[in-house]
Chain A
Amino acid sequence: MNEIPILTLTTFLPLIGVFFLLFLKGEEEFVNRTSGYISLLTSGIVFLASILILNNFNYNNPDFQFVEQHDWIFNFVNYKVGIDGISLSFILLTTFITPICILATINSVKKRLREFLIALLLMETMMIGVFCSLDLFIFYLFFEAGLIPMFLIIGIWGGEKRVYSAFKFFLYTLFGSIFMLISIIYIYFDAGTLDVEKLLNIQINKDYQKYLWLGFFASFAVKTPMWPVHTWLPDAHVEAPTSGSVILAAILLKMAGYGFIRFSLGLFPDASVYFAPLVFALSIIAIIYTSLVALVQKDMKKLIAYSSVAHMGFVTIGIFVFNKQGIEGSIFQMISHGIISSALFLCVGVVYDRMHTREISEYGGVVNIMPKYAVMFMVFTLGSLGLPGTSGFVGEILVLIGSFKYNYWIAFFAATGVILSACYSLWLYRRVVFGKITNEKIQNLTDLNKNEYLILTPLLIMTIVLGFYPALILDLISSSVDKVSSNMTDYIKLAGAVK
């Protein structure tokens, strides 16, 4: 396998699809249909390629594998990619979600379908790129370039207030990124390289670590999003079209979590320990605050968006407790949230396509007309509230166990979020699905069609399979996480000895 640059291929494969799409001409219907097939095929192949990578992946090797390196811009930038278990799990998430997204798009987007699909495929390249780049500059490029297609998706295909939301999204994330860029430039001048593998073995000057950490933090905190820079997310979700929301929730948010693990912990262990309490405070506020806010939402998507912020709060807590359960739990929680929240947004999309409203009060009694939909929605709701037997539980419980070991107060407060999540999720479900039919429009709904089945079933299966057999992910990330967490624990011990 070493001869074939499989990572590069996988990353840029979607661009080939984009290339074909660009030159597609003819009747609108023909263009729409063909572009649908092309992008499905492309993303399907990408998915297979990622499975191929998984097949050849060595589970016991904690270091980067499939590394490729080329000189690019003089000596300043190297093109370097490679993966460990952590990155691979996110790549798999990306390649798994994208085809589902494309299907959902074909199913519901009517205007400028081809352009939408181009944006999605571009996104896929960027997202895979983020997770496999081993050079900070390349990472930054992918990380930021991913913004543009998303900005367009919200701005062009979004709802009524799409322009406001798109700009809010863009400004927020750009604002954070500037600080990260400055930090990256500083690192280059300080260490003379942007090669992540090399940087991981260098101790960056302790005095500067804090500032650099804050620079990265600014960017990641916005993307996660952490409280109080989360307000772009509900707006973006509400205005984005369904598949935009799915990509946003499933993968874009995860780039930040990935960044925390790879860069904040890896490059700045000193500062990470120093700032951990800040992260905990913000995450706990996020969990309780946004859960309470979710309780009073009237818009389905907004409610799910706020619950996303709360769920990501668990992720950031898990990462910064530095122990194995915490970090594994965070990664698992991200994967699981990627699956479950996409599914929830898709579920909202299903009824939105029929009713053209997201107001919770417009619904009620949907189960009478759409029993199959009700079952699907139920499973994902339960996953979202972390019922054992779904993937949501495993991530949450690992994070809680990990954080309890670190400091019981954190787990204590975070666990209250588990109670609140039951309240808002069940409330949403009850108001939308149960009850008598009050709105006569609901009488005319139809149950899930074939495409929607095809979209939701894989997510349903993954939710349950990962709940009962989480080893699928845990085995994959185990040795890499071991490396990260043992680095951190060694480091903390060392720091303790110095004190």
Chain B
Amino acid sequence: MAYTIIFAPLIGFLIAGLFGRKIGDLGSQIITSSLIFLSAIISCYYLYQFIIGSDVLNFVIFNWISSGQLNLNWSIYIDTLTAVMLVVVTSVSFLVHVYSIGYMSHDPDKPRFMSYLSLFTFAMLMLITSDNFLQLFFGWEGVGLASYLLIGFWFKKPSANAAAIKAFVVNRVGDFGLAIGIFLIYKYTGSLNFSEVFQAVPSLLDKKINFIGTDGNLITYICVFLFIGAMGKSAQLFLHTWLPDAMEGPTPVSALIHAATMVTAGVFLVVRCSPIFEFSPFSQSLIVTIGASTAFFAATIGLVQNDIKKVIAYSTCSQLGYMFFAAGIGAYHIAIFHLFTHAFFKALLFLCAGSVIHSLHEEQDIRKMGGIYKKIPYTYAFMVIGTLAITGFPFLSGFYSKDAILEAAYFSTNSMGMYATSIGVFTALLTSIYSWRLIYKTFHGNYKNESYEFDKVHESPPVILIPLFVLTIGAIFAGFVFKDIFIGTDHQNFWKSAIFFKEQFELKHPPLWFLLFTPISGVIIIFAAYYFYVRNEKILENLKQTHKPLYNFLLNKWYFDELYDFLFTKPAKAIGSFFWSKGDVKIIDGFGPNGFAKIIKILSDRAVLFQSGYLYHYAFVILIGLTILLTYLII
């Protein structure tokens, strides 16, 4: 059965990819969707098994690389962590497959799209079911590939192509870090299998090494480099620039890859490696700092973006920051819990955005929307629920997971705990503001699009609305139903060996004001935002005018793209041209073969002069030669 989970999407990919034209659009849609449905059902079954107390399962498919000590298998490894991820990946993937049938109905390349989605699912499943670092790396790059293909799906758009390459290359920078981490692990533990590595870690705690010119603790180096990999995939600060651009891809892709699954792979990696991270306080602090900073940074940008998908993209970036700092303070199970709930409400928000875009005929700019809530009531209702969930409205899924993170941060002994708590609370307020701004700008106020008539705005077909409905159920209940299992007092029984806690993680109760602060201010913001974004837009307009530099700073995403362009892209090209024209052509060829040829030519030209043809010239040379020879012999 475990094999079916992994290989059903692969088969779907192959069928739709190779025979897409033969079996037709509908055929490939049905085949891929039903195969994913199969994996989703089996995944749920496995999660259920783990809830009632199953043991770890490990299947070896076949040997992959074996060279000397290095021995790696293609494998399927299922523990609690994997089971949770399996459910998230396959269920969201299934819903997105179905949704795509409706969303891509006008696209000529449906089989290709479906096959890419299945390919992505396969790679993601390989990533989470790996029992070693290299298969994880396979999945890691595999999802990167699928993401590249899907972002660039509309290959005629130059911006989509550029975004696809950017995503791949920035991810490769992260992968570079991950690879270095993997090499370090192999060098010092002699293995890349999780169980062997994790067993070896306690004996390496005091090992000091000199690496890239500095002395330090081995475990810390390993953790930092693994985390760089995680930062790339999960779009954390400094390596986040690809995620907003990735919105060039079709919206179902954004929901599946850039919200619910692939971008959470970094969080998964950190949690999976909790037996290593737990022993490196330094890298834990680093994770907390980066996570919290990303949460804040992305939220500020989200406040002013005008593209409906980019707002949600930055929101994703910000929420991933939450997950990281939860993991950083040692609350791995809470990080995964937030990952779990976030998958539902963020996929919901993206798919709702897709539905809006669909209704407005490919319009994504929220300045050209407004007042359409009556036209598309279902989408509106679903999106409001999604927004309530993300802003942590009481008793919806986000409420449980986000509050748990803030509480854990409040009691954290980590040196950055205070920083994380305050940033976390403040960012929660920002989250509410940008989320409600999005709702009001999109659905309320006056309709502002001149190129598309208001009357033409239409609700999406059921094939789109049904997945939304299912996700809405998830966004409402996922927190309430699973909170006791995931993060309750008994959580150790559920996670077992999947998550390693150095010290028992105790659930304490913070003071009442702390508990009430975020939900209450969240509710207040609903009304305040309505006032500022719908009733009286002038106040904000004035604020924008008076604080132009700040506004531009946010609107241009803190100028990261420009900075990187200046620091990396342009120099690389300049150096490349320099090496080529000066290094290869001028110096090497100039002094090498061409120079050699030139010298020979010059010499032969000179030699020609000697052959003048006059007898007395030759006689003269012979005489001089003889003289010199004789002189030499005599002396």
Contact = CB atoms under 8 A, between A and B. Distances in A.
A419 B173 contact: yes
Contacts of B137: 388
Interface string B168-204: 1100110110011001101100000000000000000
Interface in A402-460: 404-405, 408-409, 411-412, 415-416, 418-420, 422-423, 426-427, 430, 433-436
A293 interface: yes
Given A388-B141, A415-B180, A470 B65 contact: yes
B572 interface: yes
Chain A contact patch, size range:
35 or more
A398 B165 contact: no
Contact of B152 (A228, A323, A434, A436): A434
B187 A405 contact: yes
B64 A365 contact: no
A422 B145 CA distance: 11
A418 B176 CA distance: 8
Given A388-B137, A400-B183, A422-B168, A289 B67 contact: no
Tell me the interface secondary structure of chain B in the complex.
helix
B211 A426 contact: no
Given A229-B592, A400-B183, A470-B65, A422 B579 contact: no
B165 A427 contact: yes
Residue of B164, B211, B580 ringed by the most chain A CB atoms within 10 A: B580
A24 B588 CA distance: 45
A352 to B, nearest CB: 22
B231 to A, nearest CB: 15
A168 B62 CA distance: 48
Interface of A: 168, 171-172, 228-229, 231-232, 234, 289, 292-297, 323-325, 328-329, 365, 367, 382, 387-389, 393-394, 397-398, 400-401, 404-405, 408-409, 411-412, 415-416, 418-420, 422-423, 426-427, 430, 433-436, 468-471, 474, 478
Among A292, A388, A470, the one with the most B-chain Cβ atoms within 10 Å of its Cβ is: A388
A478 B68 CA distance: 8
Nearest to B156: A436
22 contacts: A292-B572, A292-B579, A293-B576, A294-B576, A295-B572, A296-B576, A382-B145, A388-B138, A388-B142, A397-B134, A397-B179, A398-B70, A404-B186, A412-B180, A422-B168, A422-B172, A426-B148, A427-B165, A430-B152, A434-B155, A469-B62, A470-B65
B183 A404 contact: yes
B138 A389 contact: yes
A78 to B, nearest CB: 34
B563 interface: no
Contacts of B584: 231, 234, 293
Contacts of B54: none
Contacts of B588: 228-229, 231
Contact of B183 (A289, A401, A420, A430): A401
Identify the 4 closest CB pairs spanning chains A and B, nearest first: A324-B68, A292-B576, A388-B138, A404-B183
A411 B575 CA distance: 22
A289 B583 contact: yes
A294 B580 CA distance: 9
A351 B346 CA distance: 44
B158 interface: yes
Contacts of A171: 593, 596
Contacts of B172: 418-419, 422
Contact of B158 (A292, A408, A415, A435): A435
A172 B593 contact: yes
B574 to A, nearest CB: 9
A418 B589 CA distance: 27
Contact of B70 (A401, A433, A434): A401
Nearest to A169: B593
A322 to B, nearest CB: 12
A415 B145 contact: no
A430 B66 contact: no
Given A367-B155, A412-B212, A426 B169 contact: yes
Given A292-B579, A405-B187, A471-B63, A323 B68 contact: yes
Contacts of B165: 423, 426-427, 430
B179 A415 contact: yes
Contact of B579 (A234, A289, A419, A469): A289
B364 interface: no
A382 B137 CA distance: 15
Given A231-B588, A388-B142, 14 more contacts: A228-B583, A293-B576, A295-B573, A296-B577, A328-B68, A397-B134, A400-B179, A418-B175, A423-B165, A426-B168, A435-B158, A468-B64, A471-B66, A474-B65
B187 A394 contact: no
Contacts of B572: 292, 295, 420, 423
Contact of B67 (A324, A400, A412): A324
B161 interface: yes
B213 to A, nearest CB: 9
Contacts of A400: 179, 183
Contacts of A323: 68
Contacts of A474: 65-67
A422 B67 contact: no
A224 to B, nearest CB: 15
Contacts of A325: 67-68, 70
Contacts of B577: 296
Interface in B566-623: 572-573, 575-577, 579-580, 583-584, 588-589, 592-593, 596
Interface in B278-332: none
Nearest to B154: A434
Nearest to A431: B161
Interface string B359-393: 00000000000000000000000000000000000
B296 to A, nearest CB: 29
Nearest to B577: A296
Contacts of B575: 292
A293 B579 contact: yes
Contacts of A469: 62, 64
B187 A328 contact: no
A74 B433 CA distance: 93
A435 B180 contact: no
Nearest to A406: B187
B212 A296 contact: no
A328 B71 CA distance: 14
A168 B594 CA distance: 9
Interface in B93-152: 134, 137-138, 141-142, 145, 148, 152
Most interface-central of A171, A292, A328 (chain B CB within 10 A): A292
B412 to A, nearest CB: 33
A408 B155 contact: no
B67 A329 contact: yes
Contacts of B179: 397, 400, 415, 418
A148 B227 CA distance: 53
B457 to A, nearest CB: 30
A384 to B, nearest CB: 13
Nearest to B581: A296
A435 B183 contact: no
Nearest to B187: A405
Contacts of B592: 228-229, 231
A97 B164 CA distance: 33
Nearest to A421: B172
Contacts of B180: 411-412, 415
Contacts of B74: 468
A422 B593 contact: no
Nearest to A171: B593
Contacts of B169: 419, 422-423, 426
A427 B166 CA distance: 10
A398 B589 CA distance: 34
A336 to B, nearest CB: 13
Contacts of B596: 171
Contacts of A394: 65
Contacts of A297: 580
A410 B64 CA distance: 25
